């Protein structure tokens, strides 16, 4: 158990809908990362937050947004969902960004199915 | 060209065999190289971490980095059925924590 929690475990929804994925980082970790894992693209970095502020952006669609709250938990919002958004979404956390080594601890993931 | 290339083909080996996995990359700014292990229906977990070129050994696992060839490897000696998992290479630059992953290799160790 990495100490990172994600809810829900599974999410089934329809095209055009909006969903929110939640992540609680390990105790003491200030940085949160979101990744998308699909069979054809593999694990892709979406976005990173550090202590409430956006730190880095990857291949995140404009329909997706995220935030990190004062208690350090994070939410990933996916809107106008398309079939291609079906994937595993992972959250990871680390103590601080850029540390050496800076281990990212991954949560168990949320499996999103868009029908 | 993808930043990180990992031939995603599955690999089946008999118990006790050596497993050899590798990745190539195109971004010469990558300085930190990692191997993650992902069991079915679980999140990736860090297995090995290497900074710059060289070898690192941890028990049955050896990670190698050749920055001149932009090539990294992971060797698993005396493989066990419990090593059956997907192995993903990952790397990042020194400037930020964005990890670039390979697609992963599913390894099955047959008892």
Tell whether A45 is within 8 A of chain B (Cβ): yes
Query: How would you class B91 by CB atoms within 10 Å of its CB: exposed for 0-12, middle for 13-18, buried for 19 or more?
Result: buried
Bridge-based pairing state of the strands B19-25 and B30-38: unpaired
Q: What is the distance between the alpha carbons of residues A69 and A24, in angstroms, rounded to a whole number?
A: 10
Going by pLDDT thresholds of 50, 70 and 90, the confidence category of residue B90 is very high
Mean pLDDT taken over chain B: 92
User: What are φ and ψ of residue A85, in 5° steps?
Assistant: -85, -10
Residues of chain A with pLDDT > 90, as a percent, come to 81
A48 contact residues in B (CB cutoff 8 A): 96-98
Q: How confident is the model at residue A96 (pLDDT cuts 50, 70, 90)?
A: low
pLDDT computed for residue B94 by the predictor: 74
Instruction: Give pLDDT, residue B2.
Output: 80
Those residues whose C-beta lies under 8 Å from the C-beta of residue A36, and which sit 6 or more positions away, are A43, A44, A46, A59, A87, A88, A89, A90
Contact with chain A for residue B45, Cβ under 8 A: yes
Please say whether the beta carbons of A45 and B100 come within 8 A.
Answer: yes
Check CB contact of A104 with chain B, cutoff 8 Å.
yes
Q: Which residues contact B86 (CB under 8 A, 6 or more apart)?
A: B37, B38, B39, B40, B104, B105, B106, B107
Distance (Å) from the alpha carbon of B105 to chain A's nearest alpha carbon? 11
Tell me the pLDDT tens digit for each residue of A44-54. 999 999 999 99
Is B45 in contact with A2 (CB distance < 8 Å)? Answer: yes
Test B97 with A102 for CB contact under 8 angstroms: yes
pLDDT in tens, A57-75: 998 999 999 999 999 999 9
pLDDT digits (tens, 9 = 90+) for B26-68: 999 898 999 999 999 899 999 998 888 889 999 999 999 999 9
């Amino acid at each position: 158990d990495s100490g990172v929690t994600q809810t829900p475990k599974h999410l089934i929804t329809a095209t055009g809908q909006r969903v929110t994925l939640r992540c609680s980082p390990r105790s003491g970790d200030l940085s949160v990362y979101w990744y998308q894992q699909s069979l054809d693209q593999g694990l892709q970095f979406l976005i990173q937050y550090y202590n409430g502020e956006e730190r880095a952006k990857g291949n995140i669609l404009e329909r997706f947004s995220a935030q990190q709250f004062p208690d350090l938990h994070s939410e990933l919002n996916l809107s106008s969902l398309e079939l291609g958004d079906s994937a595993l979404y992972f959250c990871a956390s680390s103590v601080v960004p850029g540390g050496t080594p800076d281990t990212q601890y991954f949560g168990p993931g949320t499996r999103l199915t868009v029908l | 060209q993808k930043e990180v290339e990992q031939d995603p083909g599955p690999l089946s080996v008999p118990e006790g065999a050596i497993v050899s996995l590798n990745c190539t990359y195109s971004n010469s700014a990558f300085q930190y190289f990692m191997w993650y292990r992902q069991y079915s229906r679980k999140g990736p977990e860090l297995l090995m971490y290497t900074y710059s070129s060289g070898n690192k050994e941890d028990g049955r696992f050896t990670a190698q980095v050749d920055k001149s060839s932009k090539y990294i490897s992971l060797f698993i000696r005396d493989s066990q059925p419990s090593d059956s998992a997907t192995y993903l290479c990952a790397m990042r630059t020194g400037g930020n924590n964005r990890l670039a992953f390979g697609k992963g290799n599913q390894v099955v160790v047959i008892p």
